[in-house]
């Protein structure tokens, strides 16, 4: 068992050696601030420089408190380490240095090349403690890292997590800070890394009081899809989020973070500073991985301290080919899809400066990056849950074509990400859910339905009324995977496929990934390509992929190699690739 020293940041309470606590808050627009200790007393706080208020008070761990702004508004600590209930409840002083004894203190993580990510929603698993029961099965499958959807405190007890308003506090409905640490510690004991999805581009609509006492936390000249942009030009704001990153990595010992929608963070210098601070703060030899979601395809960030980026381009072109969908953003991938498929497999990003359907240039060149700079997925929370009825890909695509795409997902040199239940072909939907109330609940329900008004199948209001209400408990419950279905007919076959492919990946691909690079990718026929990658040991990996309905001709000059996997039996001559088929070969270095 091991105690660790707590990370001390600029924001939030700090337990002092004499048993007292230093409370502080950045409130530059408040005339005065007081500390309310629940069940005890109210103490005026001292105004310091640059809008800070602080007080050293004779209260320790377990203390419930709020801040009183201008003698009229009670607010939680914006850097609360835990809440006594929901986002409007009192904050709780947590002793992060001694509240948990680590059983695996020497865990240093795993190299990025070994990563197989598995995205999970903690609430659908029943909380931090209940989630632990599933970890051993994931290691047996071949997963090496779980990725938790955001867990920062949000309003209510049902939410995807992207409506969080207290980013330092683990969601109380999921469990305590100690239970979260126990989940991470248990995962480490099984050899699993743990990643966390964090949201630094906006706050949720309910429970964020910063605009009342720290108006300059936001910049009104810059808009995001969620309102005013966050002003990362200010030192206090930068520290708020960088300290949050360091808290998750140092106090909770997460192995990596996924940064949501950083294209909504226009200040690139904030991102590079964050990466620099992280790498300077973690102990030598420890593997910590920083992963981006970035619609702008800023490849240059992947050589500036960030490990990888979610490759929406790869998903979108594969999805368009598997489903023939062309509405919304799939329109950018449906046209000339085969050429785009080849570019994705041969260079990473599809959009590397080209114009999208709106005539906007998007992206930076990416072919010089290693394939491991890209996280590939066929499904995730967005791509499934942002569908009106949350259908999973197994319900939308031809089974043979989906097996071929799954082989690409799990055997290409890119880093794969699975979405919970995908590995057994779960058919339960993953829907958009919240637990708002009153006018906000009405606005979210109507906003959700209006999102689909531009789609032909939802053109009339009556059809849109069928879209599940995000605030209904049934919407949440219907999204819960049926974990017992894994061994049932129709599901066991998918599970066996994922196990087989991941076994091949760990045996043949992972040991050769360090130093891998893109080599070539060319079109064979409609929806069919041939791609090659140079692996780190000098061997080459070759993919023959045909997602179309007709056979595709193969080059007459055959290349020797060991067949690693074929997604189905060939029914064409040796110089033809059967429809809806993938084959992967390894040509080992001599």
CB atoms within 10 A of CB 328: 14
| Tokens linked to 238 | 């930068």
| Tokens linked to 35 | 């500390």
Distance of CA 194 to the CA centre of its chain: 11
CB 253 within 8 A of CB 180: no
CB atoms within 10 A of CB 572: 16
CB 195 within 8 A of CB 148: yes
Tell me what percent of the chain is helix, strand and coil, each rounded to the nearest 5: 35, 20, 45
Residue entry with tokens 């009229």: 72
Among 86, 260, 382, 544, which one carries the catalytic annotation?
A: 260
- Dihedral sign computed on CA atoms, order 161, 163, 168, 170: negative
**β-pairing verdict for 21-26 and 52-57:** antiparallel
| Tokens linked to 252 | 């909770």
Among 171, 197, 293, 312, which one carries the catalytic annotation?
A: 293
CB 245 within 8 A of CB 274: yes
Active site residue 520: no
d(CA 355, CA 352): 9
CB 465 within 8 A of CB 500: no
Residue entry with tokens 């986002």: 87
CB 546 within 8 A of CB 581: yes
Stated as kind and residue range, the H or E segment containing 128 is helix 128-131
Active site residue 293: yes
261: left (phi over 0), alpha (psi -120 to 50) or beta: left
Q: How many helices (H) and strands (E) does the chain have?
A: 16, 28
CB atoms within 10 A of CB 208: 21
DSSP symbol at 355: B
CB 33 within 8 A of CB 127: no
CB 512 within 8 A of CB 535: yes
| Tokens linked to 489 | 């007919």
Q: Give the long-range contacts of residues 133-136, CB within 8 A, separation 24 or more.
A: 134/483, 135/186, 135/187, 135/190, 135/192, 136/190
d(CA 446, CA 469): 9
Residues marked active site are found at 260, 293
């Amino acid at each position: 068992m091991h105690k660790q020293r707590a990370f001390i940041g600029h924001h939030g309470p700090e337990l002092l050696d004499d048993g007292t606590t230093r409370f502080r808050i950045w409130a530059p627009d408040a005339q005065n601030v007081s500390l309310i200790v629940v069940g005890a007393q109210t103490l005026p706080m001292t105004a310091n420089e640059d809008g800070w208020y602080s007080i050293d008070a004779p209260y320790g761990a377990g203390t419930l408190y709020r801040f009183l702004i201008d003698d009229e508004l009670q607010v939680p600590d914006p850097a609360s380490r835990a809440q006594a209930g929901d986002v409007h409840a009192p904050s709780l002083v947590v002793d992060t240095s001694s509240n948990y004894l680590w059983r695996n203190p020497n865990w240093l993580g795993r190299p990025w090349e070994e990563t197989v990510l598995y995205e999970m929603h903690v609430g659908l698993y029943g909380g931090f403690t209940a989630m632990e029961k599933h970890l051993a099965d994931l290691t047996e499958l071949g997963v090496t890292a779980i990725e938790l959807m955001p867990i920062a405190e949000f309003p209510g007890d049902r939410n995807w997590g992207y409506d969080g308003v207290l980013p330092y506090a683990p969601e109380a409905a999921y469990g305590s800070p100690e239970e979260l640490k126990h989940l991470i510690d248990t995962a480490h004991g099984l050899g699993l890394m743990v990643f966390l999805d964090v949201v630094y581009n906006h706050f949720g609509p309910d429970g964020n009081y910063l605009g009342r006492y720290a108006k300059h936390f936001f910049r009104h000249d810059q808009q995001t899809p969620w309102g005013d942009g966050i002003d990362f030009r200010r030192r206090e704001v930068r520290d708020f989020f960088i300290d949050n990153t360091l808290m998750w990595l140092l106090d909770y010992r997460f192995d990596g973070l996924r940064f949501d929608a950083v294209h909504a963070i226009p200040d690139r210098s904030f991102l590079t500073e964050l990466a620099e601070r992280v790498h300077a703060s973690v102990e030598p030899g420890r593997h910590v991985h920083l992963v981006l979601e970035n619609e702008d395809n800023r490849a240059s960030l992947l050589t500036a301290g960030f490990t990888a980026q979610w490759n929406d381009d790869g998903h979108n072109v594969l999805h368009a080919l598997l489903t023939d969908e062309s509405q919304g953003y799939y329109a950018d991938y449906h046209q000339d899809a085969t050429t785009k498929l080849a570019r994705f497999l041969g260079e990473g990003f599809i959009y590397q400066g080209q114009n999208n359907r709106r005539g906007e240039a998007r992206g930076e060149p990416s072919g010089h990056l290693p394939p491991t700079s890209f996280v590939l997925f066929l499904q995730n929370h967005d791509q499934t849950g942002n569908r009106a009825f949350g259908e999973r890909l197994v319900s939308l695509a031809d089974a043979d074509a989906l097996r071929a795409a799954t082989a690409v997902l799990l055997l290409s040199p890119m880093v794969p990400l699975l979405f919970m239940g995908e590995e057994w072909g779960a058919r339960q939907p993953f829907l958009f859910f919240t637990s708002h109330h009153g006018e906000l609940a009405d606005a979210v329900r109507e906003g959700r339905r209006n999102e689909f008004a531009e789609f032909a199948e939802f053109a009339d209001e009556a059809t849109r009324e069928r879209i599940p209400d995000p605030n209904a408990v049934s919407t949440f419950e219907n999204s819960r995977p049926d974990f017992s279905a894994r061994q049932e007919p129709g599901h066991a076959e998918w599970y066996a496929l994922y196990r087989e492919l991941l076994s091949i990946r760990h045996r043949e691909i992972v040991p050769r990934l360090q130093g891998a690079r893109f080599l070539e990718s060319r079109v064979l026929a409609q929806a069919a390509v041939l791609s090659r990658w140079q692996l780190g040991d000098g061997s080459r990996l070759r993919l023959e992929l045909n997602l179309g309905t007709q056979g595709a001709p193969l080059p007459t000059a055959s290349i020797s190699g060991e067949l690693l996997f074929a997604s189905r039996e060939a029914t064409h001559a040796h110089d033809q690739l059967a429809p809806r088929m993938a084959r992967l070969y390894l040509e080992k270095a001599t």
